[in-house]
Amino acid sequence: MSNCFPPDPARAISRRSFLRWTGSAGLLVGLSRSLPGLAPGARAEAPRELVLISQQGATPDRALPKLLEAFKAANPGVNTKVMLFPEEKFVALYTASQAAGEQVDLLMLNGQDLRRYATSQALLPLDDLPYKNRFIPEALKPVTIENHLWGVPSGAAGGFVIFVNRALLNKYQLDFPKTYDELKAAAATLKKAGVNAFTHPGKVIYMWPVWFFTTFAQTTDNRSIERTVEILDGRGKFTDPDVVQALDLVFQFARDKMFTPGVFSLDFPNAQSEFLTGKAAFYLFHDSLAKPVMEANAPGMELDFMLMPNLVGRPVTSQYPGAACGVVLAIPAKIDPARRELARKLLDFLSSDQSDQESVALNGGAVPVNQQAPTPNVPVYRKEKEEISKLVTYLDWFYPPEITRGFQEGLQAGLAGRIKAEDLAKNLQATLERLYGSGYKFIG
């Protein structure tokens, strides 16, 4: 997930989840009585339809379909339609939709998408919303760009941790590794038993940069965001030693055969299956994985997680990449004025305290973005909540799309042994300098 964005729009992709339609009559009754934007007993009007565009990705959003049904039930005459664009084609398909003049009333974005569209004036500013205080302050920071609010958060703060099948580690008398050498030794023990260390959806190039975000946090002595800003505004370079070292640390995992064979052919279901069936002990993935893994109740699975072991041989905090704002709800700038207030009504509804509580209950999450929504009583999420201070915003939320694509393709190539860290760093810097020549300027 995912989640800086018009040059080459067909190539930038995101990390957010796809939606699956389900229903719940009990939920409809409860929500229709208590959530904002509802008008029980209101006189039916001529049918109106709101179109919401989201992304189809790795993890189903179980709450959204139910919440939309509740909204419709309490607003007679209002229909909603969800359009799902595959995450790897989201920008291209949404661009085509805009060019065709198709109706779009609400967008579900990640922070990366938000930056792309906010900085290109493609969204309505929401500075006048009266309910901003319902959100935790950390969740509003990523959706505030150049002192304007461009969207509202929903869901929960969270990110990419290393999920661990503790049952496998216990079986082979292994502790959670604290250093890379310990991790390498554990991988060797597991390999002798026919178990791989890491699985990963390596076929999905969008998922590789989170490895760099994790290693870069350590090589920068926990200054990865500061260093990213320095590089993008010209005070630093992608060829600086801390960047090259972080790239090479990612490639080291491949050189030491830490990944399952055939990792580049795995998609989301394949990787999750390997983890669930005990073919791999570790899986660096978004915390949304926890819910389906626990519900699968697979034999031999005892779910836990850890943060990346120390890779640099000096005292640093192990941080993990993620987002404090969950999914971002935004309104396109070109919305038909006749539907603008109704779209704001739906925005209010979907970001309410009770909606967020329902979302976190069904989808999981450690820290709900709404202050009044409780964390689910799930051990993995309680543990992550204790580590939430170590969450660092995805760095590709700051990158221009050409740099994002360069990381995606370059990391996959480097892990396959086709490019060295130094050469990838030079390619990234050359791309950035071309952008400078075309007028690119980093907007903080």
The pLDDT tens digits of the residues spanning 189-231 come to 999 999 999 999 999 998 999 999 999 999 999 999 999 999 9
Amino acid at 352: S
Mean pLDDT per 10-residue interval, the chain, length 444 residues: 34 37 35 47 61 80 93 94 84 91 94 87 96 94 93 94 98 98 98 98 95 99 98 98 99 98 96 98 95 93 98 98 92 96 97 95 90 89 92 94 96 98 99 97 83
Cα 280 from chain centre: 23
Instruction: In whole angstroms, give the CA distance from residue 183 to residue 174.
Output: 10
Tokens of 208: 């590789």
CA dist., res. 303 & res. 280, Å (int): 12
pLDDT (0 to 100) of residue 24: 36
Question: Using alpha carbons only, what angle is made at residue 11 by residues 10 and 13, rounded to the nearest 5 degrees?
Answer: 105
Determine the pLDDT at residue 22.
31
What span, in angstroms and rounded, lies between the C-alpha atoms of 108 and 119? 17
| Residue 151 CB contacts under 8 Å (≥ 6 apart), including other chains | 107, 109, 114, 118, 123, 126, 143, 328, 329, 330
Q: What is the DSSP string of 281-334?
A: EEEEEEGGGHHHHHHHT-TT--EEEEPPPB-SSS-----EEEESSBEEEE-BTT
Q: What is the largest CA-CA distance in the chain?
A: 69
- Cα–Cα distance, 216 to 228 (Å, whole number): 10
Identify the residue whose tokens are 């090589």. Answer: 219
- Contact 203/266 with Cβ under 8 angstroms? yes
Structure tokens at 115: 């930056």
Query: What local confidence, expressed as pLDDT, does residue 55 receive?
Result: 80
Query: How many angstroms separate the CA atoms of 256 and 435, rounded?
Result: 35
pLDDT of residue 58: 59
Where would I find the H helices in 220-312? 224-232, 241-255, 268-276, 290-296
Cα 268 from Cα 54, distance rounded (Å) = 18
- Report the pLDDT value the prediction gives residue 7, as an integer from 0 to 100: 33
Q: Compute the distance between CA of residue 160 and CA of residue 320 in angstroms, rounded to an integer.
A: 6
Query: Which residue segments constitute the domains of the chain, with CATH numbers given?
Result: 25-155+326-363 (3.40.190.10), 158-322+396-437 (3.40.190.10)
- Determine the pLDDT at residue 364: 85
pLDDT in tens, 421-434: 999 999 999 999 99
pLDDT (0 to 100) of residue 110: 81
Q: In the structure encoding, which two tokens stand for residue 131, read together? A: 């309910």
175: how many CB neighbours lie within 10 A of its CB? 9
Give the pLDDT score at 422: 99
Q: Is 44 exposed, middle or buried (0-12, 13-18, 19+ CB in 10 A)?
A: exposed
Q: Specify burial of residue 372 (Cβ count, 10 A radius: 0-12, 13-18, 19+).
A: exposed
Residue among 307, 348, 289, 324 at smallest CA distance from 129 = 348
Is 218 exposed, middle or buried, given 0-12, 13-18 or 19+ CB atoms closer than 10 A?
buried
Q: Find tokens 């906010």 and name the residue.
A: 118
Query: Strands 391-393 and 303-306: what pairing?
Result: unpaired
pLDDT of the residue at 47: 52
- What the block records as the tokens of 346 is 């739906």
* pLDDT for 12: 40
Of 311, 314, 322, give the one whose Cα is nearest residue 287. Answer: 322
Q: Cα(56)–Cα(16) distance, rounded to whole angstroms?
A: 7
